[in-house]
Structure 1
Amino acid sequence: MEIIKHIKSIRFSHAENGVAFYKDENGDSWYPQRDKLADDKPIIIVDMETNNIVSYWLGDPTRVGLPLPVPLNVVDVIQADEFPFSSVDEIYQDNYKFIDGQVVKTETSHEALVEQAEAERSLRLKVAGDAISPLQDAVDLDIATDIEIAMLNAWKKYRVLLNRVDTETAPDISWPNEPDKEEIVKIIEMKSK
């Protein structure tokens, strides 16, 4: 990847009539510089505090979006001869940084992967709890149908299996499947024949 243009230290300046204004390290407005970028070369936006690539653009440079106007955000805008990714979707799936004039793919730490897995488990446990609650009410009130009883048992089993997931093995986690109501209905119907 060869850098064609590097606009440094662009930060939010002020807002006027609902429009955000940005300036570079020399106090020059971002917009005239943006308009000079080529529309057939990729543009990469880098958060200068973390060196993370936060966005990219290919096409009309007048449509390049900068981060929300937070005074502490400082970005560099880099135009290169080619994208340093095998696909533009890759930037959202992996971590990339801009270091020493190069785009570098970085590894996600094991701790971050475990944290993501724990968040995923918490979300799945909430879904299970939300499904279990009305089914348990029906059982407690002695008004549950055979399907509701079977669904309750399936959701409880799912919740137990979720709690047994070892998040320390992230990212290699095999999550249990949510109960499938259609499958349970078929099983109940087969048993009743």
Structure 2
Amino acid sequence: MNFAQVTFIDSVFSLQRLPEPLYPEIAFAGRSNVGKSSLINRLVNRKNLVKTSSKPGKTRSLNFFEVKEQLYLVDLPGYGFAQVNKQMRSEWEVLISGYLLERETLACVVVIIDLRHALKNTDREMIDWLQHHNIPSLPIYTKADKLSKNKQGKQAAALDAALNIAPADRILFSAQSGQGCRELQDRLATYSGEKG
């Protein structure tokens, strides 16, 4: 699958406006400022298909991208960011949970976690919630380039233990160096019925 053949489809602010469910969908979730936009840009080999921002809470809609008539990639608003008002936060929650629970073409949620830190409660809650609702998820430990190989291994093992998963169930990733990018592409390609 050629992830570089990607086009922006729409920014969706309400569940009534979702695109036609034509292809399997991969959603990308993560805490605000965890590097979600950078990961998607690296995945599709584009500098700024997804706008990156140093200001948390920038993504406020479900942003749909089409990988050449095979997959939709869906960038979700970041979670765990306190500095938006309660009404906006509850609107996001309705939008995100409604999408995750009701979208029949949703194939997997990529949950992006910062490798440098111990597991945050918001990340655990997200993965527990997905498991509770039988929604497949793939944890990605990002910002691996910030750590030595030795430290990467230790931090990854700690996160694995906290999430109760095996190393084969997640990917170490760096948007900077490209580490884990091919592996992620291969994993996601399986959801379209295509290998690699």
State the TM bucket, normalised to the shorter chain.
under 0.3
TM-score, with length taken from structure 1: 0.22
TM-score, with length taken from structure 2: 0.22
